[in-house]
Amino acid sequence: MPLIGVFELIEPKNWLCKTHGDVQEAMRRAEDWHKENGTYDGAEYYIEEFVRQWALKQLLDKYKYPSEWIGERIIIEEPVKMGSTYKEADISIKNSNRRTFLYIETKKRGVSKDVFDEAERQLETYLASTHTATIGMVTDGEKTKTIRKKIDPNDFEYISDLPSYGIKGQSKFKLIRELPDGIETGETGLQKIDGKYDKVLFECHGIVRDIDGLHADEALDELCKVIYAKIFDERTTTKQKSGAEFRFQTYGASNASEVASNIRVLYEEARNADIEIYSKRIPGYERSRGVFKHQVRLSDTALYGVVEKLQDFSLIDSNSDIKGSAFQKVLAPAIRAGMGQYFTPDPIVQLAIGIIQPKAEDLILDPFCGSGHFLTRSLQYVIFNQGKTISNHGLYEFKFFHLHGIEKSERMVRIAMTDMMLNDDGHTNIRNQDALLSFDNYPDIIALRDDGEKDPSVFDVIVTNPPFGSIMRQESMEIIGRFQLGHKKKSLPLEILGLERSFQFLKPNGRLAIVLPEHLMKGKSTKFVRDWLFGIAEIKAIISFPEEAFTPYGAMVKTCLCIFRKLKPREKENKEQKAFLCQVDNLGYDATGRKKVGSEVDSVISEFHRQVGWK
């Protein structure tokens, strides 16, 4: 039975919120009843306020909410915006940000089932329209139901009771920005993630997956939203003086539902601040990159568990290599669980980046970026090879303005952005778009030019792994964009369009590394593709992979890594130019994805630069 118990009549002289107009009107009616009947008994069947006052008293006596919250954080007749109108909730309990996290709807004692059911539906609409509130109760003093909003905001389930005030085992210490003299603590003063704690994100992912029963990729997506809010909190708190309180913590909250509500508010502020800042600088930012617009869909219990696990650590002070490694521990099980089509194995990424040798002055794009692995590897490569020779400003410019991605899946954009944020980049340059659409969809890419031209070929480096296998029909090709290779073709594999689009984004003399099906480079039916390539590019290398290269990630096609340099205007193909041809037998993992000794990746990179190189 819920703690609220069985109805008990409270005389009006002991009511709470007496100055409220609705309460005063109810008191007048109660006195009229008393004059007529000589008692207040029975008035609760006609005057709803008796039931609300009983519920308020039980919140204090049974659920242990502080009496000082009455009128401050326990509010009656709270307006709830529902579309263009407002309704008023009977009781609202607010979090420390003064946003509702719990509603109670009361009715006159002993109402009919139809009236009670209508009140329950009313409560559901309050919860559905208020993303910070997830739990509600409806009661008439005899019948009581407690409901919880599920992942879908219009789907609900019954639970046993409201959460009481107080968190068992809650931290006794408030997390504030402490910077002790003479101690290297970073900007936040929080604990850094090191080798000892590099599984903390993996553990957070497990909490989400286990408590809410989410699939691995869904759990990862939700964790990305929480990380986004956590990084925002750290960055805003570090702009304040020492002693400023972090908002991403459990301390001081009344229960897990309030903690979760506080994080939802924080996430909303992070999203709004992001859009406000970058929409002024980047054309079409909110449409193409506002992918954190969807609310956190975790239960209160799961969200509380993640906050409790993560709150003591700093995500902005921790070493980017360790953070990146910690995130990869989360990404790996999600990949095995069905996200393989978005993933390029790290040894292949390492091989491509080692051959391309990106530099801090390069504009880099992955037009089919998936989880963003090519971009994070490019960032790590530049930091490792040029970090000590370029200025802090130069490194900042590279991180925030030179790394770009396009990805059709909104979920994957959130994952890629999170990985980039954990590598301390400017995550805003990953677009949630289809890379094969008309170039009118990328005004921000055209804006990267400084010569007023509309040509999208602005990138010095493109590294990518376009999707394989799907066949695009002529009508689809006409809709999405114009492609030379699609001219007079009734259908075309998607990877061929991906190859042409990559060259369309690439500057003359630019460098391209692209993973392609091997038959594209030697099959009879694809000779037209090679003929086209000879007219626009110099083939620098074709590196064939073993059969098992993509087997652990759900793809069975034989692949290769192709390295090209785009010809300059009026430059003719040099038929004497040497190309690097290589068969890799060992990428460092087997067909199941397990580590395999004897990787040839480093030696292939060395041989390419020894035999061919970029000079």
> What is the Cα–Cα distance from 414 to 426, expressed in whole angstroms?
13
On whether the CB atoms of residues 406 and 417 are closer than 8 A, the answer is no
∠ CA 68-70-73 to the nearest 5 degrees? 95
Range in 67-76, 102-111, 195-204, 289-298 with the lowest mean pLDDT: 289-298
**Tell me, what CATH number does 592's domain have?**
3.40.50.150
DSSP 549-607: GSGGGT----EEEEEEEEPPTTPPP-TT---EEEE-S--SB-TTS-B-S---HHHHHHH
pLDDT at position 289: 66
Kindly state whether residues 541 and 411 are assigned to the same domain.
yes
Predicted confidence band of residue 309 (pLDDT cuts 50, 70, 90)? very high
Q: Return the residue matching tokens 């008035």.
A: 43
Residue 472 clears pLDDT 90, i.e. is over it: no
Phi and psi at 74, nearest 5°, equal: -110, 110
Q: Which amino acid is at 100?
A: T
Least reliable range by pLDDT among 161-165, 243-247, 452-456, 508-512? 452-456
Residue 377 in domain = yes
Place 339 in a pLDDT band, splitting at 50, 70 and 90: low
Q: What is the DSSP string of 383-437?
A: HHHHTTTS-HHHHHHHHHHSEEEEES-HHHHHHHHHHHHHTT--GGGEEES-TTS
Note whether residue 209 is domain-resident: yes
pLDDT at 490 over 80: no
Are residues 513 and 563 in contact, defined by beta-carbon separation less than 8 angstroms?
yes
Residue 553 — very low, low, confident or very high, per pLDDT cuts 50/70/90? Answer: confident
Which pLDDT does position 551 carry in this prediction?
A: 82
Q: What is the pLDDT of residue 231?
A: 94
| Residue 203 confidence class, pLDDT cut points 50, 70, 90 | very high
Q: Is the pLDDT of residue 578 over 80?
A: yes
pLDDT at position 196: 79
Residue 311 has pLDDT above 60, yes or no: yes
CA atoms of 31 and 52, how far apart (whole Å): 17
**End-of-domain residue from the set 118, 144, 159:** 159
pLDDT of residue 457: 94
User: Do 507 and 392 belong together in one domain?
Assistant: yes
Report the alpha-carbon distance of residue 251 to residue 408 in Å, rounded: 39
Q: Over range 316-330, report the average pLDDT.
A: 86
Q: How confident is the model at residue 613 (pLDDT cuts 50, 70, 90)?
A: very high
Residues 434 and 546 in one domain: yes
CA atoms within 13 A on the CB side of 429: 23
Q: Within 13 Å of residue 283, how many CA atoms lie on the same side as its CB?
A: 9
Residues in Cβ contact with 60 at an 8 Å cutoff, skipping those fewer than 6 apart:
66, 67, 70
Q: The tokens of 411 are what?
A: 């979920």
User: Cβ of 291: how many Cβ atoms within 10 Å?
Assistant: 23
Q: Which residue has the higher pLDDT, 274 or 268?
A: 268
Tell me the per-residue pLDDT of 36-63, one tens digit each, with 9 for 90 and over: 999 999 999 999 999 999 999 999 999 9
Beta pairing class for 459-464 and 364-366: parallel
Residue owning tokens 């970090």: 387
Q: What is the pTM of this model?
A: 0.87
pLDDT at 286 over 80: no
For residue 398, give its domain range.
343-611
Summarize the confidence of residues 258-281 as an average pLDDT. 88
Judge if 468 and 417 occupy the same domain.
Answer: yes
* Residue 557 and residue 446 share a domain: yes
Task: Return the pLDDT at 337.
Answer: 65
Query: Do the beta carbons of residue 161 and residue 236 sit within 8 Å?
Result: no
Q: Within a domain: residue 326?
A: no
Asked if 522 and 592 sit in the same domain, the reply is yes
Give me the sheet containing 580-583, strands edge to edge. 430-432, 403-407, 364-366, 459-464, 506-517, 559-566, 537-544, 580-583
Q: How many domains does the chain have?
A: 3
Q: pLDDT tens for residues 525-534?
A: 899 999 999 8
Q: Counting runs of H as helices and runs of E as strands, what totals does the chain give?
A: 18, 18
Q: Is 333 part of any domain? A: no
- Shared-domain flag, residues 436 and 484: yes
Task: Give residue 300's pLDDT band: very low, low, confident or very high (50, 70, 90).
Answer: very high
- Worst-scoring range by mean pLDDT, 118-122, 386-390, 512-516, 579-583? 386-390
The confidence score (pLDDT) of residue 479 equals 54
Provide the pLDDT confidence category of residue 396 given band limits of 50, 70 and 90. Answer: confident
Residue 434 within any structural domain of the chain: yes
pLDDT of residue 195: 81
| Position 185 in a domain | no
Has residue 280 got a pLDDT over 80?
no
Q: Would you state the pLDDT for residue 556?
A: 76
pLDDT in tens, 98-149: 999 999 999 999 999 999 999 999 999 999 998 899 999 999 999 999 999 9
Q: What is the pLDDT of residue 126?
A: 95
Residues 384 and 289 in one domain: no
Which of 114, 142, 159 is the endpoint of a domain? 159
Task: Name the domain boundary from 274, 299, 314.
Answer: 314
Q: 3-state class of 182 per DSSP?
A: coil
Helix (H) or strand (E) holding 359: none
Write phi, then psi, for 400 (nearest 5 degrees): -95, -20
272, part of any domain: yes
Asked if residue 494 and residue 448 are part of one domain, the reply reads yes
Q: Is residue 173 part of a domain?
A: no
**pLDDT higher than 60, residue 593:** yes
- Domain with residue 44: its CATH number is 3.90.1570
Same domain, 401 and 449: yes
- Highest averaged pLDDT of the listed ranges 8-12, 294-298, 423-427, 493-497: 8-12
For residues 471-487, one letter each, b for 16 or more C-beta atoms within 10 angstroms of the residue's C-beta and e for the rest, the string is ebeeebbeebbebebbe
Do 151 and 196 sit in the same domain of this protein?
no
Is 353 in contact with 461 (CB distance < 8 Å)?
no
The pair of three-digit structure tokens given for residue 604, joined into one six-digit string: 């292939």
> Do 350 and 486 sit in the same domain of this protein?
yes
Between residues 512 and 330, the one the model is more confident about? 512
Please state the φ and ψ torsions of residue 305, each to the nearest 5 degrees. Answer: -60, -40
Task: Flag whether pLDDT at 323 surpasses 90.
Answer: no
